[in-house]
Chains A and B, each alone.
Chain A
Amino acid sequence: MPATVTTLPGKTDSATLSAMSARRLYIFAGIGLITCGLLFGDIFAVFILHQNAGRQGEALIAACRAVAAGDAAAVNQAFSHLGDLLEDRGTKVDAHVHMIGAGYLALMLGLIQPYVAFSRKAKKSLAVLFVAGAILLPVGIFLIHYVGLADSPFAVIGWASVLADSSGGLLIVVLVVTAWGFIQYLGSGQITEPELPEEDSMPRRALLTGGTILVLLGFLHGAYYAGTQLYEHERQETAILQRMIDAASTGNLDAATAEVNSFGGLAGARAVNIAAHSHVIEFGLLAMLLSFVQPFVFLSEEWKRRWVKVLLGGSVILPVFVLLELKLGLLAGGIADIGGLMVVVSLVGMLVGIVRYTGSLDTAEGAR
């Protein structure tokens, strides 16, 4: 190990990230949830997303054929299949988004622990509840498509939805209680544990500045999309559907199929714009959050810099190539997936550094 490693933990550090503390749990769970969420998103994009879009087009063409044949029952059958495909896709996207979102919240809660005026035990209990809710929420959402309404006493809500909603409720309770603890801190002004160590290193500055720029770029892109394309895309959607129905009604299946393709193209254009917008902001936030845990990444300066570069590189590659999917097709999609994997690899690299740090911390504590 080169001489420029993060300093070995001392007594103050052990209080900052002590064993079994709420902060340690939040940081590990946060990075773990974000890594799993990104990995799940990559697997979803490669193996499910495009295939699902193709099957949606097939279902719409089947509906057009049924309209041309005047067969209302076949129309309903086609739409039942389409609804199934949309639920399959939607619940997987939601599981991906909620897992990452919960990971961000966990990291943030880890940061604000010194300003939550509760006992160490109470904060630990809250952290355990949060992590349980954060794991069960995406699992519940993922299962909605497979469990359906089986054995459910409700008309439209299945047991998987109940699990997801209850887990969401648990997260809200933890947040509200944490807010109460923060309000109590505002009254007393006394921090309950040491603040995060100050460190003016290159990895920290790069993550903070890069993250802020990524978030800003994401906002600018979102504002541009909303201002120039969003309303037009909404108008086009019903216009294409109307033309599709008109063509199918007159038995012109070639024209109807062309409209199905236009509909798919429009859905693709909306999806890539929204995905690019949300991913660049999410990665910006992630970079900013990870800047705070850099003092705990027990790796050489060179490796810390390497992981930061890989993370920021992946954070730019993914959204840019998601946008380019419309022009370059699957090639761009593949490059975007590699961008996502770069972020995952860098997160795992940093997590390894934090595990090494806490390991040395616990060993030093044991020796004392």
Chain B
Amino acid sequence: MTASRKLLICGGVILAAFGMLYGVEYALVTEHQTLEHMGGSLAQSFTAAAGHDAARSKAALHEYGETKYDYVREVDAHSHWIGLAMLMIVLGVIFDRVHFGEGIRQGIAVVLLMGSVLFPLAVLLQTYHHGALVLKALAVVGPGLVIAGLTATAWGLARRESAA
């Protein structure tokens, strides 16, 4: 088995296990509390408005927005890590059909794996620093790497064997 295939399959299996581990930990420790907090904040916002307390209503709605911002990213990180891991494993199995030299294939594999780790990580880190430009940029770079890697893979698959 070539090094590029090893990298993709091994990296994919580890990333899938990590993504699942994060998902179980999140479901057990954080998710229920987050959902309670999110629903509670929104209900509190309306309850405060019913009691004519506009300031408390606004603060509770802000709290709801912040919690939902975190929740969406936490769930997205989990699903994207596992989804990208599965893509890495599948690509690992077919990577010998990508008609480039092994050096280029290794480069593509590294790019794909880096993007797959970086993208959900940057999304997750946004929950600690809301709106941080660097993290937003990394969340763009991550999928950019995966798209570049996938484009190169599709190109390699479409090339004739003799062109490698």
Q: Which residues of B contact A222 (CB under 8 A)?
A: 143
Contact A179 B46 (CB under 8 A): no
Q: Is A234 part of the binding interface, using a Cβ–Cβ cutoff of 8 Å?
A: yes
- Using CB atoms, name the residue of chain B closest to A162: B28
Q: How large is the interface on A (under 10, 10 to 19, 20 to 34, 35 or more residues)?
A: 35 or more
Q: Which residues of B contact A17 (CB under 8 A)?
A: none
Bound: A75/B60 CA distance, A:
14
User: What's the dominant secondary structure at chain B's contact region?
Assistant: helix
Contact A182 B51 (CB under 8 A): no
Known: A70-B50, A179-B10, A242-B61. A212 touches B150 (CB 8 A): yes
Q: Which residues of A contact B50 (CB under 8 A)?
A: 66-67, 69-72, 74-75
Contact B10 A182 (CB under 8 A): yes
Q: Which residues of B contact A216 (CB under 8 A)?
A: 147, 150-151, 154
Q: Is A226 part of the binding interface, using a Cβ–Cβ cutoff of 8 Å?
A: yes
Within 139-168 of A, Cβ neighbours of B (below 8 Å) are at 156-157, 161, 164-165, 168
- The total of interchain contacts (Cβ-Cβ below 8 angstroms) comes to 160
Known: A112-B93, A168-B27, A212-B154. A72 touches B62 (CB 8 A): no
Bound: A299/B146 CA distance, A:
36
Contact B49 A245 (CB under 8 A): yes
Question: Which of A100-108, A317-325, A329-337 has 4 or more CB atoms under 8 Å from chain B?
Answer: A100-108
Interface residues of A (CB under 8 A from B): 63-64, 66-67, 69-72, 74-76, 78-79, 82-83, 86, 97, 101, 104-105, 108, 111-112, 115, 156-157, 161, 164-165, 168-169, 171-172, 175-176, 178-179, 182-183, 186, 189, 208-209, 212-213, 215-216, 219-220, 222-223, 226-227, 234, 237-238, 241-242, 245, 248-249, 278, 281-282, 285, 288-289, 291-292
Task: Write 6 A-B pairs (CB below 8 A) sorted by A numbering.
Answer: A75-B43, A82-B39, A175-B13, A215-B87, A227-B140, A248-B49
